[in-house]
Chain A
Amino acid sequence: MFSNAEGKLFQYRNCRILKDHKIYTEDLWVRDGKIVNPEKIFFEEKILADYQIDCKNKILAPGFIETQINGAFGVDFSQEETIVNGGIGKVCKGLLEQGITSFCPTVITSPSLAYKKILPLIKKTKGSKDGAGIIGVHVEGPFISKEKKGAHKEELIQTFDNGFKDVIDMYGDLSNIAIITLAPELHNSQQVIKECVDRGIIVSLGHSMANLTRGEEAIWNGASYVTHLFNAMLPFHHRDPHLVGLLTSNKLPPDTQIYYGIIADGIHTHPAALRIAQRINPKGLVLVTDAIQAMGLPEGKYKFGCQQIEIKDNRATVAGTNTLCGSIVSMDRCVRQLAKSTECGHVLALETASLHPAKVLKISNSKGTLDFDTDADFILLSEDLHVQATFIAGELVWQRSGDVISVISRTD
């Protein structure tokens, strides 16, 4: 409908943008894939937009950023055979309709050889009309607690008795890794956390038996994220709140905002638990789907990692058990579920899937907001938070139907 040509100035009109923690009527201006300051252009360059686009009064919000997704559409990031031959691209493309513009493919506890094969295949890529961008891999395991293994295979779980050397030996090249989930109670974990953080890897605490003190120590050493809060960790107890207690801890470094992933699919986290987390630490809430390859597939049995899983009644379990092994929910549905369950309002609901994950990944200066000079990755939503269109770097990459937007004028 319009080209995304270099140097052209786009003015998205008739929209309600999410900016500075408010939703208000304002135009969004885009050029060369970035959100630009129209005031500066008006007074300094003295030019008008090349294209004006009518957004028909939709909400215009930053694109969603997903930090934990194991797979989708039959592709499992932990199974090499499913990701070769275009498997990664299939997920990248498929996620666009959920409003996801960037994500972290997540690899669960696997043998060393698998990491060494898979990690080099999942490269950091920019988003485009071919699909959402990849920020880096989230390696969930294998340095986790056997007691809190969840759906991970116990015999593959490892310790780092030799410290960071074991981490390198396990994964091989670390350059494609963005996040590592580890259990902070493991021997040498505090040293490993420091080493990871020094290398720019985000450390997330999870699949863990840790008490609160151990969790606080990990935060002091640079950990900043908690993997799917409530799931695969000891439950809140009033005499030791365990990792859940990090949300209200007053023993963290000054001005620390802890972030925690939460699966708001209505199954992995009870709505009341979701409300507790949202009420006590709204700024740290990060929506994750933790979706598995069966997302978008019909009910039945599938291979997940090295295990059989079963999809039935909107749940994914280890076949023959009641153990949950990831969800099959979409990101936009999590946003709606959160808004509905917590009545937190559109602003927070949308920020938990955009601004907050961008902060986790330390990329909020370029993604997760509609601030000037950031990437023009954004979505259009209906009032009830259904995604209508997705844009990456200013380009329309997906739309629900042909009439979501219309070009109202063009200056030739």
Chain B
Amino acid sequence: MKLVILDDYSQVSEWAAKYVRRRIIDFNPGPNRYFTLGLPTGSTPLGMYKKLIEFHKQNLISFRYVKTFNMDEYVGLAQDHLESYHSFMWNNFFKHIDINPENAHILDGNAANLETECVSFEKKIKDAGGIELFIGGIGPDGHIAFNEPGSSLVSRTRVKTLAQDTIIANARFFGGDVSKVPTEALTVGVGTVMDANEVMILITGAHKAFALHKAIEDGINHMWTVSAFQQHPRTIFICDEDATLELKVKTVKYFKSLMHVHNKLKDDPQ
């Protein structure tokens, strides 16, 4: 596991965007070789998307040969509802870049048969050759995608009922009205993310500090689903100083001493 500790949110965003760019460039995608990216929504990755858009506008990166798979989507929320993850991805990322719409995959929370939709999503990932880099954020309770505490750590894409905390937290996006928040979502499973070649988790803010501690310093526990990635051979956590508040000094010092090594991973190839 790698842990990259940066000063603040904007540095986390830039570092993550540079890392994604570097990974895509190194992969050297083309018409017969697509780079597959797993993508999150939410406030944490917003800054990274903004940076990636900037890079795209400066012609530093193209998404022409990139396929994307989003982690989750609400059930029963209109696709063009401003809070749907379709709208989020369109407004905050897709409309600004050169991705081919055929290559952008998001679970359909309005599908007639939700189970079939989940199975077919897994198949699409498999047909694309699996996910090369899965990017995620986590909730304060350590959930990854909508894999709420208690989710199976080998779960696959499925319908999931949201935890009350998540519903309350998301009410701010629905006019503060808890009753308007969808109660179910389609989400990739922890196992689905585990299958990716690499997992990159962004964690910022003091309110996520305990979750980061649980993710990397405590044991694997389905009550903190993000902890499952302790068993992934290639995981990179990118956090800001605030998110390290619950970590041991020893942990922080160790990873900070590795920064000069980690920084090479996101910089332009020589």
A-to-B contact residues, CB < 8 Å: 27, 37-48
Contacts and interface: CB of A to CB of B under 8 A. Distances in A.
B90 interface: yes
B270 to A, nearest CB: 33
Interface in B64-98: 79-80, 86-87, 90-91, 94-95
A42 B101 contact: yes
B95 A39 contact: yes
Contacts of A27: 95
A151 to B, nearest CB: 51
B263 interface: no
Interface of B: 79-80, 86-87, 90-91, 94-95, 100-102, 104, 106
A42 B86 CA distance: 10
A402 to B, nearest CB: 27
Contacts of B102: 46
Nearest to A27: B95
A38 B95 contact: yes
B92 to A, nearest CB: 12
Most chain B Cβ neighbours within 10 Å, of A38, A42, A43, A47: A43
Nearest to A45: B101
A42 B80 contact: no
B90 A43 contact: yes
A40 B87 CA distance: 9
A46 B101 contact: yes
A39 B86 contact: yes
Q: Is the interface of B mostly helix, strand, loop or mixed?
A: helix
Contacts of B104: 42-43
Contacts of A38: 90, 95
B102 to A, nearest CB: 5
A43 B73 CA distance: 14
Nearest to B100: A48
Nearest to A42: B101
Given A42-B101, A43-B104, A46-B101, 8 more contacts: A39-B87, A39-B95, A40-B80, A41-B101, A43-B101, A44-B79, A46-B102, A47-B101
B101 to A, nearest CB: 4
Q: Which 10 A-B pairs have the closest CB atoms?
A: A46-B101, A39-B90, A42-B101, A46-B102, A43-B86, A39-B80, A42-B90, A43-B79, A40-B80, A42-B94
Contacts of B87: 39
28 contacts: A27-B95, A37-B80, A38-B90, A38-B95, A39-B80, A39-B86, A39-B87, A39-B90, A39-B91, A40-B80, A41-B101, A42-B90, A42-B94, A42-B95, A42-B101, A42-B104, A43-B79, A43-B86, A43-B101, A43-B104, A43-B106, A44-B79, A46-B100, A46-B101, A46-B102, A47-B101, A48-B100, A48-B101
A48 B101 CA distance: 7
A42 B95 CA distance: 9
Contacts of B94: 42
Nearest to A29: B95
A44 B78 CA distance: 13
A37 B87 CA distance: 12
B83 to A, nearest CB: 13
A38 B86 CA distance: 12
Contacts of A40: 79-80
Contacts of A45: 101
A408 B116 CA distance: 41
Nearest to B102: A46
B267 to A, nearest CB: 30
Contacts of B80: 37, 39-40
Nearest to B90: A39
A287 B102 CA distance: 46
A39 B86 CA distance: 8
B128 to A, nearest CB: 15
Nearest to A11: B95
Contacts of B106: 43
A318 B79 CA distance: 61
A29 to B, nearest CB: 10
Contacts of A42: 90, 94-95, 101, 104
A44 B87 CA distance: 13
A45 B86 CA distance: 14
B53 to A, nearest CB: 12
Nearest to A372: B80
B63 to A, nearest CB: 12
A55 to B, nearest CB: 16
Nearest to A26: B95
B50 to A, nearest CB: 14
A46 B86 CA distance: 13
Contacts of B90: 38-39, 42-43
A40 B84 CA distance: 13
B217 to A, nearest CB: 40
A45 B102 CA distance: 9
A48 B106 CA distance: 17
Nearest to B94: A42
Contacts of A47: 101
A39 B92 CA distance: 12
B89 to A, nearest CB: 9
A122 B235 CA distance: 72
A41 B102 CA distance: 11
Contacts of A37: 80
A73 to B, nearest CB: 42
A145 B91 CA distance: 55
A173 B107 CA distance: 57
Nearest to B86: A43
Nearest to A43: B86
